[in-house]
Amino acid sequence: MSQEIHGTHSDEPDDPAEPAATRRAADEAESSRASRGWWDRNADEYQNDHGGFLGDDRFVWGPEGLDEAEAALLGPAASLKGLDVLEIGAGAAQCSRWLAAQGARPVALDLSHRQLQHALRIGEGIPLVEADAGRLPFRDGSFDLACSAYGAVPFVADPVQVFREVHRVLRPGGRWVFSVTHPIRWAFPDEPGPEGLSVAASYFDRVPYVEQDEQGDAVYVEHHRTLGDRVRDVVAGGFRLVDLVEPEWPAWNNQEWGGWSPLRGNLIPGTAIFVCERDRPSAEGSARTTLGA
């Protein structure tokens, strides 16, 4: 099952213009190449379809509409002033714009040139960096916080490499908060209606979802990790997990976003947000999981 957060694919299953969907291995290089191409080709449609919901300068964690202004997962808004923040998989940098409005100093990083052009279209003033999350072009200890709303993590073959990179560029005590498709969704069809409520695949099957062209080259890749895998990846990346947030579907939100809908949102989780911390030196070397601490 794919869980396509972009939500821009044709609904026609036999559309000849659509690449063929399959399940097969896809390594880091192929996944990165596919993601760059896909987001460059589809950024316009993504921003056209979802830009209204995202707003120009809101920080939304996912299709449920949980807003950082209310959730304060990076810390109280008033505490963000003057902090260096890295946003990974920033798209059009809406989250960074909200962070800048709080007085933070965000840097918005994305693999896709076209997504970053949308950031410029919305407004100037946010530093933009075109790079892969697996190789961050920053010195060690450059940031106080790092965040990602569905950026990069669901699309990379080696999330631990991304987490190690984030750990490297964060200062001791820094937070790393990222949202991804809730892993349970992998077992269900990616449909917003009742057909999306019956288990159709194994939650434990980690074989990537790949769309490929006629030559067999991947043009879109999604990598599944179970909830336990994600926790182990966070710890392997050097972090302590301090919270795992599963936003509930709010009564005000009547919008569908791909397979995310009020119907499904009221029954099963759609987003998982991992709140992680890089320990200060005295505690490092004993990275541990403290869920709910």
Ligand X SMILES: C[S@@+](CC[C@H](N)C(=O)[O-])C[C@H]1O[C@@H](n2cnc3c(N)ncnc32)[C@H](O)[C@@H]1O
Query: Which residues sit at the interface with ligand X, rule CB under 6 A?
Result: 5-6, 32, 35, 39, 54, 89-91, 110-112, 115, 132-133, 149-152, 155-156
Residue 57 CB, nearest approach to ligand X (Å): 13
Smallest separation, CB 198 to ligand X (Å): 26
Determine how β-strand 170-181 pairs with β-strand 271-278: antiparallel
- Which is nearer to ligand X, 155 or 209 (by Cβ)? 155
- Toward ligand X, which CB reaches closer, 29 or 267? 29
Nearer to ligand X, 158 or 229 (CB): 158
Closest distance of CB 60 from ligand X, Å: 7
Using the structure block, give the residue that is written with the tokens 């541990």: 288
Contact 233, 165 (CB under 8 A): no
- Tell me if residue 20 falls in helix, strand or coil: strand
| Type of residue found at 190 | D
Alpha helices in the chain (DSSP H): 28-54, 68-71, 94-101, 113-122, 159-169, 227-236, 262-265
Is 150 or 249 the residue whose CB approaches ligand X more closely?
A: 150
User: HSE of 198 in the Cβ direction (CA atoms, 13 Å)?
Assistant: 3
Cβ 150 to ligand X shortest distance, Å? 4
Q: Which is nearer to ligand X, 155 or 287 (CB)?
A: 155
Q: How far, in Å, CA of 162 to CA of 134, rounded?
A: 5
Taking each helix axis as running N to C, give the angle between helix 159-169 and helix 227-236, from 0 to 180 degrees, rounded to the nearest 10.
Answer: 40
Nearer to ligand X, 222 or 279 (CB): 222
| Tokens (6 digits) for 173 | 């005590």
In angstroms, give the least distance from the CB of 196 to ligand X: 19
Question: Min. distance of Cβ 61 from ligand X in angstroms?
Answer: 8
